[in-house]
Amino acid sequence: MAVLYINPKNRKGHIQKELQGHFSEHLGRCIYEGLYVGENSEIANVNGMRCDVINALKELWIPVLRWPGGCFADEYHWKDGIGPKAGRKKMINTHWGGVVEDNSFGTHEFMELCEQLECKKYINGNLGSGTVQEMSEWVEYMTFEGVSPMADLRKMNGREKNYKVEYFGVGNENWGCGGNMTPSHYSNEYRRYQTFVRTYDHTSPIKKIACGANVDDYYWTEEVLKVCHDPNMMQGLSLHYYTIPGEWLDKGSATDFDASVWYRTMKKTLYMETLINRHGAIMDKYDPEKRIDMIVDEWGSWYDVEPGTNPGFLFQQNTMRDALIAGINLNIFNKHCDRVKMANIAQLVNVLQSVLFTEGAKMVKTPTYHVFSMYKYHQDAELVESFLETEEIGLEEAWKVPNLHESVSISKDGKMHVTINNLSLTESYSVDTLLTETQVASVQGTILTGKMNACNTFDDPERIKPAKFEEFTSMGNKVSFSIPPCSVLHLELELS
């Protein structure tokens, strides 16, 4: 029997909705085919954006979308992607599969996509191979309202009104694909480039995000903050961490794995919390008032690509293991909402841990999609204090994990949302939830469960889908239930 203690009176911080953000790169079939099929496609679309995908994503209340990369960002030249499509330059996408990029999806198309999704925009600029002028002009092109060469160019290209850009990344992975820089070199470059990322519309200042560390590169975090921790220069510092069950060159299959790989994967995904704590401690040293946000703008599972697919397209299946990865990470972000203000799972459609797959006119929702749909009630809610008694489980000493993992919030309408994951492959656990000085009026539950490698395919698209969960009892301040193995559960409590 586990006990989950919740103290609704102790509000721990605001869960910014951007913690459930997404990422879409010019990579494989994410943008082309996945999101954008062009105006002349036979697939139902509005201004080139697939209707099925837009509708599915809107159900997730998708808060923010990052674009155009990733590694692609540091070789993207935005002027190639504006103006009449016939005249747009073609290039080779050298990072991702060596395919031709025809630039038919550019700035205006991204803005159109975000307008349809009603989400915020996170644009990642090119510091690795672009100039300061190029970056500065992109911001001017998108956001300047008055008379200027770039604003005039935007108007000439059909958009009179300036766009809003909420977040701007100054380079991506500049320690690697974005230029192989040392942290001190990047920091000086950052100071220079960010100077020209100007806010023209002071009612909506652009948040500038610096390239942060890869995984546990604490040296990078320290060195960058040493040089640029002025919150006027930097409003966010990124962190990238992927859950890779195996090694970089042999990551492991998305679907063909055993129980020991399951627990290893769980352990590796839980490592996100250690990274947030340790990078966070360095941030606390330079920014004790927490004015600089931690932005986990790439996270999720990364496996070997599906056999027979282009290795540069990073297409992988998505199973209950991914559902647990999503549930655990979103719980971690909630619990660290004092510092983590945005997180973007990689990537939206058809790439890495996607929420959707497409094939021609067909679309499938992945288990990860369903977790986001169950967790969306945490968006813009208040984190509340919770403590869960757990036990260690697993097959090998080095890869032991807690059996259960939770986070709890109260949304604006006063409802409490408990999201809890059972990491065990074999055991159900009885949980008594006890609320301090608060009575429960009613409970509703939704569960996602299945075999560890169960997934949705185009032939069997609903094998994994949320179901109503009614196996609980509730009296006074207590809710009791039994959570089945390998599952993600959402309980919505009405309080009295």
Residues that bind ligand AHR in the complex, under the rule CB under 6 A = 25, 69-71, 172-173, 298, 346-347, 352
314, two tokens:
């990073």
For ligand AHR, the nearest residue by Cβ is 70
Shortest gap between Cβ of 73 and ligand AHR (angstroms)?
A: 8
Strands 91-93 and 99-101: antiparallel
If the CB atoms of residues 352 and 401 are measured against ligand AHR, the closer one turns out to be: 352
**CB-nearer residue toward ligand AHR: 45 or 301:** 301
**173 catalytically annotated:** yes
DSSP H helices, 100-238, are 107-117, 132-143, 149-156, 183-195, 218-228
Query: 81 or 171: whose CB is closer to ligand AHR?
Result: 171
Using the structure block, give the residue that is written with the tokens 């999806």: 105
Catalytic residue among 173, 189, 223, 406: 173
Nearest to 410 by CA among 476, 337, 486: 337
Contact (Cβ atoms closer than 8 angstroms) between residue 401 and residue 270: yes
Task: Give the integer Cα–Cα distance in Å for 483 and 408.
Answer: 16
Instruction: Let me know: does 491 contact 444? Beta carbons within 8 Å.
Output: yes
Q: Which of 60/239 has CB closer to ligand AHR?
A: 239
CB of 27 to ligand AHR, least distance (A): 6
Structure tokens at 406: 């939770």
In the complex, the smallest distance separating the C-beta of residue 405 from ligand AHR, rounded to whole angstroms, is 25
Question: 33, 75, 223, 298: which one is catalytic?
Answer: 298
* Closer CB to ligand AHR, 3 or 215, in the complex: 215
Distances (CA, A) of 444 to 155, 245, 420, 440, 483: 50, 34, 14, 11, 14
Q: Three-class SS of residue 240?
A: strand
CA distance 348 to 341: 19
Cα torsion angle, 268, 272, 273, 275, sign: positive
Cβ closest to ligand AHR, residue 137 vs residue 322: 322
Q: Encoding tokens for residue 296?
A: 């986990």
Q: Considering the complex, what minimum distance in angstroms separates the CB of residue 297 from ligand AHR?
A: 9
The encoded tokens of residue 257 equal 């794995």
DSSP 258-269: -HHHHHHHHHHH
Cβ of residue 69: shortest distance to ligand AHR, in angstroms?
5
Taking the C-alpha atoms of residue 65 and residue 54, their distance in angstroms, rounded to an integer, is 13
CA distance 25 to 71: 8
Q: Is 59 a catalytic residue?
A: no
User: Of 95 and 478, which CB lies nearer to ligand AHR in the complex structure?
Assistant: 95
The answer to whether residues 180 and 160 touch, using CB atoms and an 8 Å cutoff, is no
Per DSSP bridges, beta strands 440-449 and 487-495 are antiparallel
Q: How far is the CB of 71 from ligand AHR (least distance, A)?
A: 4
The minimum distance between CB 246 and ligand AHR, in angstroms, equals 17
- Which residues are catalytically annotated? 173, 298
